[in-house]
Amino acid sequence: MSDMQRPDPKLERTISSWLHDEPDPVPEDLADNALFRSQATSQRSTWSARLHQRGVTTTGPLAAGATLVASLIVIAVLVASPLWRTAPDVGTAAPSRIQLDHPATALGSGFGSLWVGDDQRRLLRISPTDGTVEATIELDGVPCGPILPAGRSLWLATCGVGGTTSKATTTRVDPATNTVANVYDDGAGDGFGASAMNGLVWFVSDIEAGRVTAVNADTGAHDRDLPLGQRIRNITAGFGSLWVSPIGQPVVERVDPDTGEILAEIPLSGDAGYLTTGTDSIWVAEPHQWLVGRIDPTTNRVAAEVPAAPDVDHIAIASDGLVWALADELLLAIDPATNEEADREVVPSHRAFDDVTTHVLALDGDNVWFADQTSLERIRPTD
């Protein structure tokens, strides 16, 4: 990996010492330099990215020739389509844009719908096929974290209007009735992420005390608490364990869900952030080192750290295996077969509470959605 692909580690550690536990934005000149480096990387076209995933190099005359051949094929298909299309299409393609009547603060996908949290303390259930609002659910606060399906429910965090993420409250929504089923408000600020495992759904119920809580995945009833004794904000479950990100530490901890014992500490190059579980790995955002880390749960070691962009703080895994990472102004796709960037798209900055990035990325089948203020954009760089 060249020096141009990632920041200088010594300089980053100096910055981390300035920022303490929960850093402010990286100094502007460093962020600008990182964006310049990332944007200087040429963007592959879709067909090139797909060939790259299969180990085929596409440069120079070969790429130009392939582009010409692909164009001729598309033209031929369009011209010939009336000859072979003997029956009407089944279903309709998802719209490229869905208009909203208020700014979105959170986005998720699950149970056949898109779910949009807005600044009016609402959760909207939207059909991804035609953009219609199927239900409007009133909440006790503004959604300020990821919206995730876990078990038979939808899970999200809310904050007060003009509030801070340090006072987030976890909410369970029943998609069968489109109603709020539980609000887990104990006065402590909750973390981000809800993940199901062994009939339970886990979430961080107290950031400062480092407490994680398990509830019944079907009923939402309280099952157990695990005090970890250190500040944590993000959690995911998988491979028989819980995985948490201690605030301000370059480490992910693997936790026994029965005892709360720390089974392993996996060191990273940068402070740990958002976590999600893949088919064979745990993926972690390193927002201040501008990386996405991949953890092997068999060896409890980092298998790869992929260069990303400043403030990368949301990761989602598509049905085709691509790992999507949302940074402040870039959306990146990582090919897990090569641990390399496969595609990218420039997106508008999406800051809200505490001047932190909002979780406005959702994957719905082959569709990649991004919430840009009052519209949902179907980006799909891999079309």
d(Cα 246, Cα 268) in Å, to the nearest integer? 12
Describe the chain by its helix, strand, coil percentages, rounded to 5: 15, 40, 40
For 221, the domain range is: 97-378
| Range 269-305 burial, b when 16+ CB lie within 10 A, else e | bbbbbbbbbbeebbbbbbbbbbbbbbbebeeeebbbb
Is the pLDDT assigned to residue 11 strictly greater than 70?
no
pLDDT in tens, 163-172: 566 789 999 9
d(Cα 256, Cα 240) in Å, to the nearest integer? 8
Q: What is the CATH number of the domain that holds 278?
A: 2.130.10.10
Residue 353 lies in a domain: yes
Residue 107 lies in a domain: yes
Residue 336 lies in a domain: yes
Global pTM value: 0.76
Give me the mean pLDDT over the 77-105 stretch: 59
DSSP code at position 359: B
Burial of 266 (0-12, 13-18, 19+ CB in 10 A): buried
Closest CA to 259 of 295, 214, 291: 214
Residue 34 lies in a domain: no
pLDDT in tens, 282-298: 999 999 999 999 999 99
DSSP code at position 319: T
d(Cα 264, Cα 231) in Å, to the nearest integer? 17
pLDDT in tens, 225-235: 999 999 999 99
Is the pLDDT assigned to residue 68 strictly greater than 70?
no
Residue 240 lies in a domain: yes
d(Cα 4, Cα 144) in Å, to the nearest integer? 34
Residue 278 lies in a domain: yes
Residue 67 lies in a domain: no
Number of domains in the chain: 1
**Coil, strand or helix at 65:** helix
Residue 41 lies in a domain: no
